[in-house]
Amino acid sequence: MENKVITRFAPSPTGRLHIGGARTALFAWLFAKSHQGKCLLRIEDTDLERSKSEHTKAIIDSFSWMNIQFDDEVIYQSKNKEKHLSAAKNLVKSNAAYFCSCTSERLKNLREEQQKNGLKPKYDGKCRELDLKEGSDTVIRFRNPQEGSVPFTDLVKGVIEISNHELDDLIIVRSNGTPTYNLSVVVDDIDMDITHVIRGDDHINNTPRQINIFKALGAKEPIYGHVPMILGEDGKRLSKRHGAVGVFEYEQLGVLPDALKNYLVRLGWSLGDQEIFNHEELVNKFKEGNINNSPSTFSFEKLSWFNKEYLSQIDSENLLSTLSSMETEFSQDDYSLEVLNLIRQRCSLMSDFSSESEYFFREVEDYDPKAVKKCINQQAIELLSEVLSEFESSKSWKASDVQEIIEKVLSKHELGFGKIGLPLRVALTGSINSPSIDRTAEVLGQKVVVERIQKAIKEFS
């Protein structure tokens, strides 16, 4: 009980759940689960300007879509404001923090001056020893140690040691009386008994500051694990201009939750040569694997491949039922099931089912010009007419019957299959890419096939 692992994911609700955030959360969650621990969700909603409750909802929805359940109830950081403030007061009392009356204006000038001189912008400690009292526009600053360094052993990066000279006295309570991020995080992590902080490596620089606050508060700091960022295909940090970056967008595109999860986890984590890990395997084996310490590039191609793999594992009945619950032409009947079985190996995204099945549910309106140019000529039209009359009079309509008829006409003219197969495919589907023509014709049905050939002949004559 004492040494139970507790991790947390702490997004700020300023937008939908981002792929990068989702992966960090996944790592934190899997880390906890593979150690039989807990993972908590803390919404960092203290930026009242940008935080929106609808975003909180969207974030939680994305996680439940991915089958990630956080433990206990969701914690809202804004509700802990009093705790943060009282921690700040204690710090002032113990002389680990002090009031500061420097204006934003002065700070801004100071920063510019330092930058100009090639220095790292830092607070110069003007009020550090002034022993000021609380005033109407004073802030509280943390009295960061000026000597020594802060070493910590990162779970993924190894030993990192940062000199206190690099750190300055950061503001922990604003002049309007609200606590700032670095204070809130520490107080909440203590409050929630967090044992391991798994977060993006853009937080590495905050870590030594936070460790100093932990110490000043008399608490033991958690173990940290900083996971590298995800980059876009151009090697820059993944952002909006790289296209789809939200979990919700992938859901819309028809990516399966397990596929997205598997892809995201493998992006930066590995266990030997294995690629496919189902949910249970991840939960059981995550801690045996290795988190990479360099940033990785997002690849839609590979995600697509994962999706295809997961798609192929779903049986047709289940697939049909999810498909018919989506905005597609599929419904829960035999015809849809046959269509599905005919086209499923041609699809890697759920959205592919619509485009691949179009001609099964709707009339062929447009013929692919390239296909027409390649396959339709006078001879093709004559052959189509011949096949048409055989089709019309056929008593039975199985794929084998269609096959037989085509071959009969073919052998009469001593021609190869393509002479009829291709034009027929164009007539029935509008293009030359489709499943085998006999099965396609069978599923389409005799009546539809006859009508489409008639229409095509009229169109091309």
Binders in 397-456 for RNA, by CB under 7 A: 403, 417-418, 421-422, 425, 432-439
Helix axes 437-444, 334-343, angle to 10 degrees: 160
Site for RNA in 171-190 (CB under 7 A): 171, 174-176, 178, 180-182, 184
Site for RNA in 290-309 (CB under 7 A): 290, 292-297, 299, 301-302, 305
* Nearest residue (CB) to RNA, 292 versus 446: 292
- Alpha carbons 427 and 304: distance in angstroms, whole number: 31
Beta strand 230-231 with 296-297: parallel, antiparallel or unpaired? parallel
> Closest distance between RNA and the C-beta of residue 143, in Å?
15
- Alpha carbons 184 and 398: distance in angstroms, whole number: 70
> Closest distance between RNA and the C-beta of residue 167, in Å?
9
> Closest distance between RNA and the C-beta of residue 214, in Å?
16
Report if residue 35 touches RNA, rule: CB under 7 A: no
Are 19 and 25 in contact, with CB atoms under 8 Å apart?
no
Distances (CA, A) of 11 to 44, 84, 108, 186, 452: 6, 18, 28, 15, 55
* Nearest residue (CB) to RNA, 37 versus 404: 404
- Alpha carbons 226 and 216: distance in angstroms, whole number: 23
> Closest distance between RNA and the C-beta of residue 292, in Å?
4
Piece of 26-34, 156-164, 385-393, 445-453 that binds RNA (CB under 7 A): 156-164
Site for RNA in 76-95 (CB under 7 A): 77
Q: 20 exposed, middle or buried (CB, 10 Å; 0-12, 13-18, 19+)?
A: buried
Site for RNA in 228-247 (CB under 7 A): 228-229, 231, 235-237
- Report the residue from 155, 204, 219, 448 that binds RNA according to the rule CB under 7 A: 204
> Closest distance between RNA and the C-beta of residue 262, in Å?
11
- Report the residue from 56, 266, 376, 401 that binds RNA according to the rule CB under 7 A: 266
- Report the residue from 90, 164, 206, 324 that binds RNA according to the rule CB under 7 A: 206
- Alpha carbons 304 and 325: distance in angstroms, whole number: 22
Report if residue 34 touches RNA, rule: CB under 7 A: no
Total residues binding RNA (CB under 7 A): 80
- In this structure, what is the dihedral angle of CA atoms 160, 43, 136, 103, given to the nearest 10 degrees? 50
- Alpha carbons 400 and 389: distance in angstroms, whole number: 17
Site for RNA in 115-144 (CB under 7 A): 115, 118-122, 137, 139
* Nearest residue (CB) to RNA, 36 versus 118: 118
Report if residue 164 touches RNA, rule: CB under 7 A: no
Report if residue 316 touches RNA, rule: CB under 7 A: no
Piece of 30-38, 42-50, 319-327, 332-340 that binds RNA (CB under 7 A): 42-50
* Nearest residue (CB) to RNA, 4 versus 52: 52
Distances (CA, A) of 119 to 111, 112, 202, 458: 9, 10, 21, 80
* Nearest residue (CB) to RNA, 90 versus 101: 101
- Report the residue from 222, 246, 268, 423 that binds RNA according to the rule CB under 7 A: 268
Q: Which is nearest to 142 in space by CA: 122, 121, 170? A: 170
> Closest distance between RNA and the C-beta of residue 150, in Å?
11
Q: Three-class SS of residue 291?
A: strand
- Report the residue from 7, 8, 9, 12 that binds RNA according to the rule CB under 7 A: 12
* Nearest residue (CB) to RNA, 403 versus 454: 403
Strands, E assignment, 21-157 = 38-43, 75-76, 97-100, 139-142, 149-154
> Closest distance between RNA and the C-beta of residue 307, in Å?
11
- Report the residue from 7, 46, 195, 262 that binds RNA according to the rule CB under 7 A: 46
Residues contacting 308, CB < 8 A, separation 6+? 347, 348
> Closest distance between RNA and the C-beta of residue 1, in Å?
30
Report if residue 314 touches RNA, rule: CB under 7 A: no
> Closest distance between RNA and the C-beta of residue 442, in Å?
10
- Alpha carbons 65 and 251: distance in angstroms, whole number: 8
> Closest distance between RNA and the C-beta of residue 78, in Å?
9
Secondary structure (H, E, C), 297-319: ECCHHHHHHHHHHHHHHCCHHHH
Piece of 88-96, 214-222, 265-273, 330-338 that binds RNA (CB under 7 A): 265-273
Q: Three-class SS of residue 223?
A: strand
- Alpha carbons 256 and 318: distance in angstroms, whole number: 13
* Nearest residue (CB) to RNA, 137 versus 249: 137
Whose structure tokens read 């110490």? 215
DSSP state of 69: -
